[in-house]
Chains A and B, each alone.
Chain A
Protein backbone atom coordinates (compact mmCIF):
# COMPACT_ATOMS: atom_id res chain seq x y z
CA UNK A 1 0.00 0.00 0.00
CA UNK A 2 2.79 2.44 0.92
CA UNK A 3 4.47 1.49 -2.35
CA UNK A 4 1.28 2.36 -4.17
CA UNK A 5 1.09 5.75 -2.51
CA UNK A 6 4.73 6.43 -3.33
CA UNK A 7 4.09 5.54 -6.98
CA UNK A 8 0.99 7.70 -6.96
CA UNK A 9 2.92 10.69 -5.58
CA UNK A 10 5.53 10.32 -8.29
CA UNK A 11 2.77 9.98 -10.84
CA UNK A 12 0.83 13.06 -9.72
CA UNK A 13 2.21 15.50 -12.34
CA UNK A 14 1.27 13.05 -15.11
CA UNK A 15 -2.15 12.49 -13.58
CA UNK A 16 -2.70 16.24 -13.51
CA UNK A 17 -1.85 16.37 -17.24
CA UNK A 18 -4.47 13.72 -17.84
CA UNK A 19 -7.04 15.68 -15.83
CA UNK A 20 -6.21 18.79 -17.83
CA UNK A 21 -6.68 16.97 -21.14
CA UNK A 22 -10.04 15.63 -19.97
CA UNK A 23 -11.10 19.09 -18.77
CA UNK A 24 -10.04 20.79 -22.01
CA UNK A 25 -11.96 18.21 -24.03
CA UNK A 26 -15.02 18.62 -21.82
CA UNK A 27 -15.00 22.42 -21.80
CA UNK A 28 -14.22 23.00 -25.47
CA UNK A 29 -16.40 20.06 -26.51
CA UNK A 30 -19.37 21.42 -24.58
CA UNK A 31 -18.88 24.96 -25.89
CA UNK A 32 -18.85 23.55 -29.42
CA UNK A 33 -21.88 21.44 -28.61
CA UNK A 34 -23.83 24.44 -27.30
CA UNK A 35 -23.05 26.47 -30.43
CA UNK A 36 -24.11 23.59 -32.70
CA UNK A 37 -27.19 22.99 -30.54
CA UNK A 38 -28.30 26.62 -30.71
CA UNK A 39 -27.90 26.81 -34.49
CA UNK A 40 -29.58 23.47 -35.20
CA UNK A 41 -32.17 23.83 -32.44
CA UNK A 42 -33.29 27.26 -33.67
CA UNK A 43 -33.28 26.02 -37.25
CA UNK A 44 -35.55 23.15 -36.23
CA UNK A 45 -38.11 25.56 -34.76
CA UNK A 46 -38.07 27.65 -37.92
CA UNK A 47 -41.24 27.92 -39.98
CA UNK A 48 -39.08 27.71 -43.07
CA UNK A 49 -38.99 24.20 -44.47
CA UNK A 50 -35.56 24.71 -46.07
CA UNK A 51 -34.07 25.35 -42.64
CA UNK A 52 -36.10 22.85 -40.65
CA UNK A 53 -35.62 19.73 -42.75
CA UNK A 54 -31.84 19.87 -43.22
CA UNK A 55 -31.36 20.65 -39.52
CA UNK A 56 -33.53 17.65 -38.61
CA UNK A 57 -31.53 15.39 -40.93
CA UNK A 58 -28.20 16.55 -39.48
CA UNK A 59 -29.43 16.01 -35.92
CA UNK A 60 -30.77 12.53 -36.61
CA UNK A 61 -27.58 11.62 -38.44
CA UNK A 62 -25.27 12.58 -35.58
CA UNK A 63 -27.58 11.13 -32.95
CA UNK A 64 -28.02 7.87 -34.80
CA UNK A 65 -24.42 7.04 -35.61
CA UNK A 66 -22.44 6.26 -32.54
CA UNK A 67 -19.92 8.65 -30.94
CA UNK A 68 -17.06 6.24 -31.54
CA UNK A 69 -17.90 5.90 -35.25
CA UNK A 70 -17.80 9.70 -35.59
CA UNK A 71 -14.51 9.89 -33.70
CA UNK A 72 -12.90 7.19 -35.84
CA UNK A 73 -14.23 8.85 -38.96
CA UNK A 74 -12.51 12.10 -38.03
CA UNK A 75 -9.36 10.31 -36.92
CA UNK A 76 -8.91 7.63 -39.60
CA UNK A 77 -10.90 8.75 -42.64
CA UNK A 78 -10.19 12.48 -42.78
CA UNK A 79 -6.44 11.99 -43.36
CA UNK A 80 -7.33 9.79 -46.34
CA UNK A 81 -9.40 12.67 -47.71
CA UNK A 82 -6.37 14.91 -47.34
CA UNK A 83 -7.37 16.66 -44.11
CA UNK A 84 -4.94 15.97 -41.28
CA UNK A 85 -6.50 16.75 -37.93
CA UNK A 86 -4.78 16.87 -34.58
CA UNK A 87 -6.13 14.09 -32.31
CA UNK A 88 -7.25 16.77 -29.86
CA UNK A 89 -9.28 18.49 -32.61
CA UNK A 90 -10.79 15.12 -33.56
CA UNK A 91 -11.80 14.51 -29.96
CA UNK A 92 -13.33 17.95 -29.46
CA UNK A 93 -15.03 17.79 -32.86
CA UNK A 94 -16.60 14.37 -32.30
CA UNK A 95 -17.82 15.29 -28.81
CA UNK A 96 -19.21 18.62 -30.02
CA UNK A 97 -21.02 17.08 -33.01
CA UNK A 98 -22.49 14.13 -31.14
CA UNK A 99 -23.61 15.93 -28.00
CA UNK A 100 -24.48 19.04 -30.01
CA UNK A 101 -27.04 16.97 -31.90
CA UNK A 102 -28.53 15.69 -28.64
CA UNK A 103 -28.59 19.20 -27.17
CA UNK A 104 -30.22 20.61 -30.32
CA UNK A 105 -33.24 18.44 -29.56
CA UNK A 106 -33.28 19.87 -26.00
CA UNK A 107 -33.07 23.43 -27.34
CA UNK A 108 -35.89 22.79 -29.81
CA UNK A 109 -38.23 21.21 -27.29
CA UNK A 110 -37.56 23.93 -24.69
CA UNK A 111 -38.30 26.70 -27.17
CA UNK A 112 -41.61 25.18 -28.22
CA UNK A 113 -42.53 24.57 -24.56
CA UNK A 114 -42.42 28.29 -23.72
CA UNK A 115 -45.97 29.41 -23.01
CA UNK A 116 -47.91 30.40 -26.11
CA UNK A 117 -49.04 33.62 -24.45
CA UNK A 118 -45.44 34.78 -24.34
CA UNK A 119 -45.18 34.45 -28.13
CA UNK A 120 -48.47 36.23 -28.60
CA UNK A 121 -47.51 38.95 -26.15
CA UNK A 122 -44.24 39.59 -27.95
CA UNK A 123 -46.05 39.75 -31.29
CA UNK A 124 -48.68 42.09 -29.83
CA UNK A 125 -45.90 44.42 -28.68
CA UNK A 126 -44.65 44.25 -32.29
CA UNK A 127 -41.18 43.18 -31.30
CA UNK A 128 -39.06 42.14 -34.27
CA UNK A 129 -38.58 38.34 -34.60
CA UNK A 130 -34.97 38.66 -33.41
CA UNK A 131 -35.88 40.68 -30.33
CA UNK A 132 -38.79 38.39 -29.64
CA UNK A 133 -36.41 35.46 -29.53
CA UNK A 134 -33.51 37.07 -27.66
CA UNK A 135 -35.47 39.11 -25.11
CA UNK A 136 -38.64 37.11 -24.49
CA UNK A 137 -38.56 33.49 -25.63
CA UNK A 138 -34.97 32.45 -25.25
CA UNK A 139 -34.41 33.56 -21.62
CA UNK A 140 -37.40 31.44 -20.59
CA UNK A 141 -36.38 28.50 -22.77
CA UNK A 142 -32.85 28.73 -21.37
CA UNK A 143 -34.09 28.22 -17.81
CA UNK A 144 -36.08 25.21 -19.01
CA UNK A 145 -33.22 23.58 -20.90
CA UNK A 146 -30.46 23.83 -18.29
CA UNK A 147 -31.33 20.64 -16.32
CA UNK A 148 -31.28 18.53 -19.51
CA UNK A 149 -28.11 20.24 -20.69
CA UNK A 150 -26.53 19.44 -17.32
CA UNK A 151 -27.26 15.74 -17.84
CA UNK A 152 -25.75 15.93 -21.32
CA UNK A 153 -22.69 17.76 -19.98
CA UNK A 154 -22.01 14.89 -17.56
CA UNK A 155 -22.55 12.45 -20.45
CA UNK A 156 -20.02 14.42 -22.48
CA UNK A 157 -17.50 14.24 -19.64
CA UNK A 158 -17.98 10.48 -19.49
CA UNK A 159 -17.87 10.21 -23.27
CA UNK A 160 -14.57 12.09 -23.38
CA UNK A 161 -12.91 8.89 -22.16
CA UNK A 162 -13.15 7.54 -25.74
CA UNK A 163 -10.27 9.75 -26.81
CA UNK A 164 -7.93 7.29 -25.13
CA UNK A 165 -8.59 5.13 -28.23
CA UNK A 166 -7.01 7.73 -30.51
CA UNK A 167 -3.66 8.07 -28.73
CA UNK A 168 -4.68 11.01 -26.51
CA UNK A 169 -3.36 10.92 -22.95
CA UNK A 170 -6.52 11.75 -21.05
CA UNK A 171 -7.41 10.79 -17.48
CA UNK A 172 -8.51 7.27 -18.48
CA UNK A 173 -5.26 6.62 -20.31
CA UNK A 174 -3.18 7.96 -17.42
CA UNK A 175 -5.04 5.80 -14.92
CA UNK A 176 -4.34 2.79 -17.10
CA UNK A 177 -0.65 3.70 -17.00
CA UNK A 178 -0.88 4.03 -13.21
CA UNK A 179 -2.38 0.55 -13.11
CA UNK A 180 0.55 -0.81 -15.08
CA UNK A 181 3.14 0.80 -12.82
CA UNK A 182 1.45 -0.09 -9.51
CA UNK A 183 0.11 -3.43 -10.71
CA UNK A 184 -2.90 -2.76 -8.50
CA UNK A 185 -6.18 -2.51 -10.39
CA UNK A 186 -8.35 -1.65 -7.39
CA UNK A 187 -6.10 1.17 -6.24
CA UNK A 188 -5.57 2.92 -9.56
CA UNK A 189 -9.08 2.61 -10.94
CA UNK A 190 -10.74 3.64 -7.68
CA UNK A 191 -8.69 6.83 -7.79
CA UNK A 192 -9.63 7.39 -11.42
CA UNK A 193 -13.33 6.87 -10.83
CA UNK A 194 -13.28 9.19 -7.82
CA UNK A 195 -11.60 11.94 -9.85
CA UNK A 196 -14.25 11.61 -12.57
CA UNK A 197 -16.96 11.62 -9.91
CA UNK A 198 -15.62 14.84 -8.36
CA UNK A 199 -15.38 16.55 -11.77
CA UNK A 200 -18.95 15.48 -12.55
CA UNK A 201 -20.13 16.82 -9.20
CA UNK A 202 -18.43 20.19 -9.79
CA UNK A 203 -19.98 20.44 -13.26
CA UNK A 204 -23.40 19.64 -11.79
CA UNK A 205 -22.98 22.36 -9.15
CA UNK A 206 -21.97 24.82 -11.87
CA UNK A 207 -25.07 23.98 -13.92
CA UNK A 208 -27.24 24.34 -10.79
CA UNK A 209 -25.73 27.78 -10.31
CA UNK A 210 -26.54 28.69 -13.92
CA UNK A 211 -30.09 27.47 -13.47
CA UNK A 212 -30.57 29.45 -10.26
CA UNK A 213 -29.33 32.55 -12.01
CA UNK A 214 -31.46 31.99 -15.11
CA UNK A 215 -34.64 31.43 -13.11
CA UNK A 216 -33.88 34.32 -10.74
CA UNK A 217 -33.65 36.59 -13.78
CA UNK A 218 -37.17 35.55 -14.70
CA UNK A 219 -38.24 36.38 -11.16
CA UNK A 220 -38.89 32.72 -10.36
CA UNK A 221 -37.33 30.02 -8.29
CA UNK A 222 -36.13 26.83 -9.91
CA UNK A 223 -38.57 23.93 -9.60
CA UNK A 224 -37.96 21.85 -6.49
CA UNK A 225 -35.28 24.27 -5.30
CA UNK A 226 -33.65 23.88 -1.91
CA UNK A 227 -35.78 26.69 -0.48
CA UNK A 228 -38.95 25.03 -1.75
CA UNK A 229 -37.98 21.64 -0.40
CA UNK A 230 -37.20 23.16 2.97
CA UNK A 231 -40.59 24.89 3.05
CA UNK A 232 -42.37 21.63 2.13
CA UNK A 233 -40.58 19.76 4.90
CA UNK A 234 -41.41 22.49 7.40
CA UNK A 235 -45.08 22.41 6.42
CA UNK A 236 -45.16 18.62 6.71
CA UNK A 237 -43.60 18.76 10.16
CA UNK A 238 -46.03 21.43 11.24
CA UNK A 239 -48.99 19.41 9.96
CA UNK A 240 -47.76 16.32 11.78
CA UNK A 241 -47.40 18.27 15.02
CA UNK A 242 -50.91 19.66 14.66
CA UNK A 243 -52.19 16.18 13.96
CA UNK A 244 -50.56 14.73 17.07
CA UNK A 245 -51.80 17.62 19.15
CA UNK A 246 -55.35 17.10 17.91
CA UNK A 247 -55.35 13.38 18.58
CA UNK A 248 -53.96 13.97 22.06
CA UNK A 249 -56.68 16.52 22.74
CA UNK A 250 -59.28 14.04 21.56
CA UNK A 251 -57.87 11.67 24.18
CA UNK A 252 -57.98 7.90 24.42
CA UNK A 253 -61.07 7.66 22.19
CA UNK A 254 -59.13 8.27 18.99
CA UNK A 255 -56.29 5.90 19.87
CA UNK A 256 -52.63 6.52 19.07
CA UNK A 257 -52.48 4.33 15.97
CA UNK A 258 -55.32 5.81 13.98
CA UNK A 259 -53.55 9.04 13.12
CA UNK A 260 -50.85 7.64 10.87
CA UNK A 261 -52.35 4.54 9.27
CA UNK A 262 -51.33 4.13 5.62
CA UNK A 263 -48.38 6.44 6.00
CA UNK A 264 -46.05 3.89 4.44
CA UNK A 265 -45.72 5.06 0.88
Chain B
Protein backbone atom coordinates (compact mmCIF):
# COMPACT_ATOMS: atom_id res chain seq x y z
CA UNK B 1 0.00 0.00 0.00
CA UNK B 2 1.47 3.32 -1.03
CA UNK B 3 -1.00 5.80 0.40
CA UNK B 4 -2.74 5.34 3.75
CA UNK B 5 -5.59 7.75 4.50
CA UNK B 6 -5.51 6.93 8.21
CA UNK B 7 -1.88 8.03 8.49
CA UNK B 8 -2.68 11.12 6.49
CA UNK B 9 -5.54 12.05 8.81
CA UNK B 10 -3.31 11.44 11.80
CA UNK B 11 -0.45 13.47 10.36
CA UNK B 12 -2.46 16.54 9.42
CA UNK B 13 -3.01 18.04 12.91
CA UNK B 14 0.64 17.43 13.81
CA UNK B 15 1.80 19.09 10.62
CA UNK B 16 -0.48 22.05 11.16
CA UNK B 17 0.96 22.50 14.64
CA UNK B 18 4.41 22.57 13.05
CA UNK B 19 3.09 24.98 10.45
CA UNK B 20 2.34 27.50 13.21
CA UNK B 21 6.08 27.70 13.91
CA UNK B 22 6.74 28.09 10.19
CA UNK B 23 4.32 31.02 10.08
CA UNK B 24 5.81 32.64 13.20
CA UNK B 25 9.33 32.36 11.78
CA UNK B 26 8.18 33.84 8.45
CA UNK B 27 6.21 36.70 10.00
CA UNK B 28 8.82 37.81 12.53
CA UNK B 29 11.65 37.17 10.08
CA UNK B 30 9.93 39.35 7.47
CA UNK B 31 9.41 42.11 10.02
CA UNK B 32 13.10 42.07 10.98
CA UNK B 33 14.21 41.94 7.35
CA UNK B 34 11.93 44.79 6.23
CA UNK B 35 13.14 47.12 8.99
CA UNK B 36 16.81 46.14 8.95
CA UNK B 37 16.92 46.16 5.15
CA UNK B 38 15.71 49.75 5.08
CA UNK B 39 18.20 50.75 7.77
CA UNK B 40 21.07 49.21 5.77
CA UNK B 41 19.93 50.82 2.53
CA UNK B 42 19.67 54.27 4.14
CA UNK B 43 22.79 53.94 6.30
CA UNK B 44 24.93 53.15 3.28
CA UNK B 45 24.14 56.60 1.90
CA UNK B 46 25.07 58.70 4.89
CA UNK B 47 28.18 57.07 6.28
CA UNK B 48 31.87 57.72 5.60
CA UNK B 49 33.32 55.78 2.75
CA UNK B 50 35.27 53.14 4.67
CA UNK B 51 32.36 52.20 6.99
CA UNK B 52 30.21 52.05 3.91
CA UNK B 53 32.68 49.65 2.31
CA UNK B 54 32.72 47.53 5.45
CA UNK B 55 28.92 47.29 5.56
CA UNK B 56 28.87 46.30 1.90
CA UNK B 57 31.41 43.57 2.51
CA UNK B 58 29.40 42.28 5.46
CA UNK B 59 26.18 42.32 3.41
CA UNK B 60 27.90 40.42 0.58
CA UNK B 61 29.25 37.95 3.09
CA UNK B 62 25.84 37.23 4.62
CA UNK B 63 24.24 37.00 1.18
CA UNK B 64 26.78 34.60 -0.28
CA UNK B 65 27.02 32.08 2.53
CA UNK B 66 24.47 29.35 3.28
CA UNK B 67 21.60 30.17 5.62
CA UNK B 68 21.93 26.71 7.19
CA UNK B 69 25.50 27.35 8.25
CA UNK B 70 24.61 30.78 9.63
CA UNK B 71 21.78 29.23 11.63
CA UNK B 72 24.09 26.62 13.12
CA UNK B 73 26.76 29.23 13.81
CA UNK B 74 24.49 31.52 15.80
CA UNK B 75 22.74 28.62 17.49
CA UNK B 76 25.99 27.17 18.83
CA UNK B 77 27.30 30.59 19.88
CA UNK B 78 24.12 31.26 21.86
CA UNK B 79 24.39 27.81 23.38
CA UNK B 80 27.85 28.73 24.64
CA UNK B 81 26.85 32.00 26.32
CA UNK B 82 25.50 31.26 29.82
CA UNK B 83 22.68 33.83 29.81
CA UNK B 84 21.42 32.88 26.37
CA UNK B 85 21.24 29.09 26.68
CA UNK B 86 17.52 29.10 27.33
CA UNK B 87 16.59 31.10 24.25
CA UNK B 88 14.35 28.87 22.11
CA UNK B 89 15.80 27.74 18.80
CA UNK B 90 12.81 29.35 17.06
CA UNK B 91 13.99 32.79 18.22
CA UNK B 92 17.49 32.13 16.89
CA UNK B 93 15.80 30.96 13.70
CA UNK B 94 13.79 34.08 12.96
CA UNK B 95 16.62 36.41 13.95
CA UNK B 96 19.08 34.72 11.56
CA UNK B 97 16.53 34.37 8.74
CA UNK B 98 15.55 38.01 9.23
CA UNK B 99 19.16 39.19 9.03
CA UNK B 100 19.86 36.95 6.04
CA UNK B 101 16.94 38.32 4.05
CA UNK B 102 17.55 41.92 5.17
CA UNK B 103 20.67 41.85 3.01
CA UNK B 104 18.51 40.96 0.00
CA UNK B 105 15.85 43.50 0.87
CA UNK B 106 18.38 46.30 1.37
CA UNK B 107 19.28 45.79 -2.28
CA UNK B 108 15.63 46.20 -3.33
CA UNK B 109 15.29 49.35 -1.24
CA UNK B 110 18.49 50.72 -2.75
CA UNK B 111 17.23 50.08 -6.28
CA UNK B 112 13.89 51.67 -5.40
CA UNK B 113 15.51 54.78 -3.92
CA UNK B 114 17.86 55.10 -6.90
CA UNK B 115 14.91 54.88 -9.25
CA UNK B 116 13.27 58.02 -7.85
CA UNK B 117 13.88 60.69 -10.52
CA UNK B 118 16.52 63.31 -9.55
CA UNK B 119 13.95 66.03 -10.23
CA UNK B 120 12.11 64.95 -7.08
CA UNK B 121 15.21 65.49 -4.95
CA UNK B 122 15.82 68.83 -6.56
CA UNK B 123 12.22 69.97 -6.13
CA UNK B 124 12.27 69.00 -2.46
CA UNK B 125 15.53 70.89 -2.00
CA UNK B 126 14.05 73.89 -3.83
CA UNK B 127 11.11 73.86 -1.40
CA UNK B 128 13.79 73.86 1.34
CA UNK B 129 12.38 70.78 3.04
CA UNK B 130 14.73 69.58 5.77
CA UNK B 131 16.72 66.49 4.66
CA UNK B 132 14.80 64.09 6.92
CA UNK B 133 11.42 65.27 5.66
CA UNK B 134 12.68 65.24 2.11
CA UNK B 135 13.52 61.61 2.56
CA UNK B 136 10.43 60.46 4.49
CA UNK B 137 7.82 62.55 2.69
CA UNK B 138 9.12 62.73 -0.88
CA UNK B 139 11.70 60.10 -1.73
CA UNK B 140 10.66 57.10 0.37
CA UNK B 141 6.95 56.93 -0.59
CA UNK B 142 7.90 56.87 -4.26
CA UNK B 143 10.70 54.38 -3.68
CA UNK B 144 8.43 52.02 -1.72
CA UNK B 145 5.96 51.80 -4.58
CA UNK B 146 8.59 50.05 -6.67
CA UNK B 147 10.01 48.11 -3.73
CA UNK B 148 6.96 46.52 -2.09
CA UNK B 149 6.37 43.73 -4.66
CA UNK B 150 9.98 42.58 -4.49
CA UNK B 151 9.85 42.64 -0.69
CA UNK B 152 6.82 40.39 -1.02
CA UNK B 153 8.73 38.02 -3.27
CA UNK B 154 11.50 37.80 -0.70
CA UNK B 155 8.96 37.10 2.04
CA UNK B 156 7.67 34.15 -0.01
CA UNK B 157 11.25 32.97 -0.59
CA UNK B 158 11.84 33.23 3.15
CA UNK B 159 8.71 31.17 3.80
CA UNK B 160 10.13 28.43 1.59
CA UNK B 161 13.49 28.64 3.38
CA UNK B 162 12.02 28.11 6.86
CA UNK B 163 12.46 24.30 6.58
CA UNK B 164 16.19 25.03 6.96
CA UNK B 165 15.36 25.56 10.64
CA UNK B 166 15.54 21.76 10.66
CA UNK B 167 19.28 22.33 11.15
CA UNK B 168 18.70 23.75 14.63
CA UNK B 169 15.83 21.37 15.42
CA UNK B 170 12.98 23.86 15.39
CA UNK B 171 9.84 21.77 14.97
CA UNK B 172 8.40 23.53 11.94
CA UNK B 173 6.35 21.97 9.14
CA UNK B 174 9.00 19.78 7.49
CA UNK B 175 10.68 18.78 10.74
CA UNK B 176 7.34 17.66 12.18
CA UNK B 177 6.67 15.76 8.94
CA UNK B 178 10.05 14.05 9.24
CA UNK B 179 9.41 13.14 12.88
CA UNK B 180 5.95 11.80 12.14
CA UNK B 181 7.28 9.87 9.16
CA UNK B 182 10.05 8.32 11.23
CA UNK B 183 7.72 7.34 14.08
CA UNK B 184 5.01 5.75 11.92
CA UNK B 185 7.15 4.90 8.92
CA UNK B 186 4.67 6.96 6.93
CA UNK B 187 7.01 9.23 4.98
CA UNK B 188 4.84 9.27 1.87
CA UNK B 189 1.82 10.80 3.62
CA UNK B 190 3.82 13.17 5.81
CA UNK B 191 6.01 14.71 3.10
CA UNK B 192 3.29 14.81 0.48
CA UNK B 193 1.02 16.70 2.87
CA UNK B 194 3.89 19.02 3.81
CA UNK B 195 4.46 19.78 0.13
CA UNK B 196 0.75 20.42 -0.45
CA UNK B 197 0.58 22.80 2.53
CA UNK B 198 3.59 24.73 1.19
CA UNK B 199 2.11 24.93 -2.28
CA UNK B 200 -1.31 25.94 -0.96
CA UNK B 201 0.23 28.79 1.03
CA UNK B 202 2.91 30.07 -1.33
CA UNK B 203 1.22 29.88 -4.73
CA UNK B 204 -1.77 32.16 -3.97
CA UNK B 205 0.57 34.59 -2.23
CA UNK B 206 2.85 34.86 -5.23
CA UNK B 207 -0.18 35.36 -7.50
CA UNK B 208 -1.29 38.17 -5.20
CA UNK B 209 2.16 39.74 -5.40
CA UNK B 210 2.10 39.52 -9.18
CA UNK B 211 -1.20 41.42 -9.25
CA UNK B 212 0.17 43.97 -6.80
CA UNK B 213 3.21 44.43 -9.03
CA UNK B 214 0.97 45.26 -11.99
CA UNK B 215 -1.15 47.67 -9.95
CA UNK B 216 1.77 49.50 -8.38
CA UNK B 217 3.75 49.81 -11.61
CA UNK B 218 4.22 53.48 -12.47
CA UNK B 219 4.83 53.07 -16.18
Q: Decide if A133 is an interface residue (CB 8 Å cutoff).
A: no
Residues of B within 8 A of A165 (CB): 166-167
Chain B contacts of A73 at CB under 8 A?
Answer: 191-192, 195
In which size bucket is the chain B interface? 35 or more
| Count of residues in A whose CB is under 8 Å from the partner chain | 42
How would residues 81 to 123 of chain B score, 1 for a CB under 8 Å from any chain A CB and 0 otherwise? 0000000000000000000000000000000000000000110
Task: Give the number of A-B contacts (CB < 8 Å).
Answer: 116
Question: Is A185 in contact with B80, judged by CB distance below 8 angstroms?
Answer: yes
B window 146-181: CB within 8 A of A: 160-164, 166-167, 174, 177-178, 181
B70, A176: Cβ atoms closer than 8 Å: no
Q: Is B77 touching A186 in the complex (CB atoms < 8 A)? A: yes
The reply to whether the CB of A249 lies closer than 8 angstroms to some CB of chain B is no
Chain B residues, Cβ within 8 Å of A161: 66-69
Q: 1/0 per position for B175-189, CB-CB distance to A under 8 A?
A: 001100100000110
What are some 11 contacts across the A-B interface (CB < 8 A)? A64-B199, A67-B163, A80-B2, A81-B2, A175-B69, A179-B76, A185-B77, A185-B80, A189-B76, A192-B69, A193-B65
Please give the residue numbers on chain A whose beta carbons come within 8 Å of chain B beta carbons, in ascending order.
60-61, 63-70, 72-73, 76-77, 80-81, 154, 157-162, 164-165, 172, 175-176, 179, 185-186, 189, 192-193, 196-197, 200-201, 204, 262, 264-265
Q: Chain B residues in contact with chain A, CB under 8 A?
A: 2, 45, 60-61, 63-70, 72-73, 76-77, 80, 121-122, 125, 131, 160-164, 166-167, 174, 177-178, 181, 187-188, 191-192, 194-196, 198-199, 202-203, 206
